[in-house]
Amino acid sequence: MITLPEPVRLRGGDLVAVGLEGLRGRMTRAVLSALGIAIGVASMVGLVGISTISMAGLMEEIRQLGTNMLTVEAGTTLLGEEARLPAEAESMVARIPGVEGVTAVGLVDDATVRRTDKIPSSNTSGVAVQAARTDLLGALGGTVKSGTFLNEATGRYPTVVLGASAANWLGIGEAGGHVYIAGRWFMVVGILDAVKLAPEIDRSALIGWDYARQLGFDGYATTLYERSSNESVQYVRDRLSHTVNPAHPEEVKVSRPSDALTAEAAANNAFNALFFGLGAVALVAGGVGIANIMVISVLERRQEIGLRRSLGATRGQIRMQFFTEAVTLSALGGAAGVGIGLVICFGYAAFKGWPLELPVQAIAGGALASVAIGAVAGLYPARRAARLTPTEALATV
């Protein structure tokens, strides 16, 4: 009685070696197939990384600017008319326990800003003229891009500080020039950087509080900016409207500017699911490409399959060979995609100057998804190769 030898078992290292050898023989086709997986993973890691870094950058800006600033504005009366903050609003807010400082701006009605007196008065470029306290910039945490901010001396003369957007709209890049305001020439003594917590200041031309009276300013503040200790923010917020206008607190609007930045960060985070979806679509497309190339590979390598079966390879070994090729191809594409995505994250963080916050979930999810898709894509080709008998496979030789 003839005893057949036991089939040789393939170890894990042998399977990987056989799989890589199969890919090495068709390098161009393998690279193009892995490219689909790489694009999908890179899209997932890169897009989610950009969103994560943006959120981290915004949160860092919020931390630096602080969440302890509140703004107070006049609302509307019960009849729908515009209300006005009381003249003593600033001094009354300063008396609230926990308030560290309060400043204000006041809109100068009917005053327009033009680059020259040759421009029609109707062309205001959307720049508002506001009277400003000299401590405004410090309260807002703003910085001067060019020149200086208003002080007790310059605030008594026709001088102006332009917000970032206002300077851009007027075509003024640095301090030292002049603009035409309400029929008078004003010297531009400063240009501000963008003020994150008060975007309305970016669109304003700021003049001294005292000098603004010569342009018809009534002396009433339109917006108050209040800073309090971090522990007393909510306490102060609950009492602001009643303190500013005890008779009609419903006519006072109180808000915290940092809430808008926090909402923006939350909105960026909400897009992560969409970015995951986009990357998943690209991954599925890459998986279809791998399945296609593996089916073609089985057809082209029928002789190899037949020869291996004749030399004693089992169906399971043939199945695992082609399955390993598909998983290896997909894993290599996933690794390349993760690398590309990380390069995008590093580049974006460096360009923006924001802290590097890597999307760990996207990296892990992309890598695991690429392997899983490769496994699914390799199932059918592997089973098809395993079903071939030695005679069927060698019949094509």
Q: Report d(CA 341, CA 321) in Å as an integer.
A: 30
Strand runs labelled E in 138-235: 144-147, 159-162, 178-181, 184-192, 204-208, 223-228
pLDDT in tens, the chain (397 residues): 455 455 556 565 666 666 666 666 667 767 777 777 788 788 778 877 887 787 777 777 767 666 778 888 887 777 667 788 888 888 888 888 888 888 999 999 888 898 888 887 777 677 899 999 999 988 888 899 999 999 998 989 999 999 999 999 988 989 988 999 988 999 999 999 988 888 889 999 999 999 999 998 988 899 999 888 778 888 888 888 888 888 888 888 888 876 666 666 666 666 666 666 766 776 677 667 767 767 766 666 666 666 666 766 677 777 777 777 777 778 888 888 888 888 988 888 888 887 788 778 778 877 887 778 777 777 776 677 667 666 665 565 5
Confidence (pLDDT) at 4: 47
Find the helix or strand (DSSP H, E) in which 128 lies: strand 128-132
CA atoms within 13 A on the CB side of 352: 21
What are the C-alpha distances in Å from 229 to residues 60, 196, 224, 237?
Answer: 19, 20, 17, 12
The DSSP bridge partners found for residue 178 are 187
- 258 is written with which tokens? 């940092």
C-alpha 263 chain-centroid distance = 12
- 356 is written with which tokens? 């590097």
Using a 10 angstrom Cβ sphere, with 0-12 exposed, 13-18 middle and 19 or more buried, the burial of residue 6 is exposed
Confidence (pLDDT) at 25: 62
- 340 is written with which tokens? 């590309």
Spatial CA neighbour of 290 closest among 70, 90, 31:
31
Q: pTM, whole model, 2 decimals?
A: 0.61
What are the C-alpha distances in Å from 351 to residues 25, 56, 64, 186?
Answer: 41, 14, 19, 37
Q: Report d(CA 316, CA 72) in Å as an integer.
A: 75
Task: Collapse the DSSP code of 135 into the 3-class scheme (helix H, G, I; strand E, B; otherwise coil) and give the result.
Answer: coil
- 144 is written with which tokens? 């001067």
